[in-house]
Amino acid sequence: MRTRFAPSPNGPLHLGHAYAAMVAHDTARARGGAFILRIEDIDGKRSRAEFVDEFLLDLAWLGLEWDGDAVFQSHRLSSFAAAGERLKAMGLLYPCTCTRAEIAAAATIYGPDGPIYPGTCRHRPVAPDNAAWRLDVGRAMALTGPLEWIDEVAGSQAATPEIFGDVVLLRKDLPASYHLAATLDDATDGVTLVTRGMDLFPASHVHRLLQALLGLPVPTWLHHPLLVEADGRKLAKRRGAPSLAGRRRAGENGLAIADALRAGALPAGLSFSQGVHHAA
């Protein structure tokens, strides 16, 4: 079996990331599997190489050794583009030129990531240059029929990707989006157990659909509780969560921090939430 930790280098890691990495690492070790480190750095505007260097030091400091070399999502853009072409050839993607503001103004339903795309471009001619490409989820589901996926904690789930509406699979500026890249990479990396926070539980509905459409192997999932602030909100750098790098440089003991997380011992002001917290 294989697990992975897949941080995005758009800011420093904090205790919530340490917990996520520990779950992936310890689950792999307990089951005699491999633990992969994948850097999700396709967002060129927000990704910074300095953060990657810190991530490697942070994980070593926590005593979480990964197997093999870290892999970089940005090296795989051509495989994402190829999958996009396949989905286009299947008639499942359509170009969309709507702006965020236009969508917000026209939307009437809200999903896990905010306003649900109202389908404006689905049936109108749009020049494909400089467009994002959306998945026609209704058409895709009609093709695959009902799908299930299994979370080791929450049990068997009927896939309901429609809760996101027609998600963007190829961004205007990039031949991928989080959903497409993460799903393809989990297949490429041979991940058999996708461990990640409860905030990404809803995303697994979309990933299950993409696996069915692209003929990818279907992993099992394990969505773990999130570390939250006293007010129930997810830890975030912008709300002052101390970075692992800062604690490391201040001479704190990373191994002791990892052991405390294993024991469920959290600093004052932090707790675990079992609920689904949607990424803002």
Q: Does 7 bind ligand GLU (CB under 6 A)?
A: yes
SS3 content of the chain, % helix, strand, coil (to 5): 40, 20, 40
Q: Please give the residue ranges that form the binding site for Zn ion (CB under 5 A).
A: 96, 98, 120-121
Q: Which of Zn ion, ligand GLU, none does 196 bind, CB closer than 5 to 8 A by kind?
A: ligand GLU
Query: Please, are residues 55 and 21 in contact by the beta-carbon 8 Å criterion?
Result: no
Query: Measured from the CB of residue 185, what is the shortest distance to ligand GLU in angstroms?
Result: 9
Q: Does 8 bind ligand GLU (CB under 6 A)?
A: yes
Compare residues 16 and 95 and give the one whose CB is closer to Zn ion.
Answer: 95
C-alpha–C-alpha distance, residues 216 and 208, integer Å: 9
Residues 30-89 interacting with ligand GLU (rule: CB under 6 A): 40
C-alpha–C-alpha distance, residues 161 and 85, integer Å: 21
Compare residues 35 and 133 and give the one whose CB is closer to Zn ion.
Answer: 133
Q: Which of Zn ion, ligand GLU, none does 41 bind, CB closer than 5 to 8 A by kind?
A: none
Q: Which of Zn ion, ligand GLU, none does 160 bind, CB closer than 5 to 8 A by kind?
A: none
Q: Which of Zn ion, ligand GLU, none does 141 bind, CB closer than 5 to 8 A by kind?
A: none
Stretch of residues binding ligand GLU (CB under 6 A), selected from 2-10, 156-164, 220-228, 270-278: 2-10
Query: Please, are residues 272 and 228 in contact by the beta-carbon 8 Å criterion?
Result: yes
Q: By CB neighbour count within 10 A (0-12 exposed, 13-18 middle, 19+ buried), where does 77 fall? A: middle
Query: Measured from the CB of residue 98, what is the shortest distance to Zn ion in angstroms?
Result: 3
Among 196, 223, 224, 247, which residue sits at the site for ligand GLU (rule: CB under 6 A)? 196
Q: Which of Zn ion, ligand GLU, none does 64 bind, CB closer than 5 to 8 A by kind?
A: none
What are all long-range contacts of 49-58, with beta carbons under 8 Å and residues at least 24 apart? 49/9, 51/9, 51/10, 51/11, 51/12, 52/9, 54/12, 54/13, 54/244, 54/245, 55/7, 55/9, 55/13, 57/245, 57/248, 58/13, 58/17, 58/18, 58/244, 58/245, 58/248, 58/254
β-pairing, 226-229 with 270-273?
antiparallel
Q: Does 182 bind ligand GLU (CB under 6 A)?
A: yes
Query: Measured from the CB of residue 159, what is the shortest distance to Zn ion in angstroms?
Result: 24
Q: Which of ligand GLU, Zn ion, none does 121 bind, CB closer than 5 to 8 A by kind?
A: Zn ion
Q: Name the site residues for ligand GLU (rule: CB under 6 A).
A: 6-8, 40, 182, 196, 200
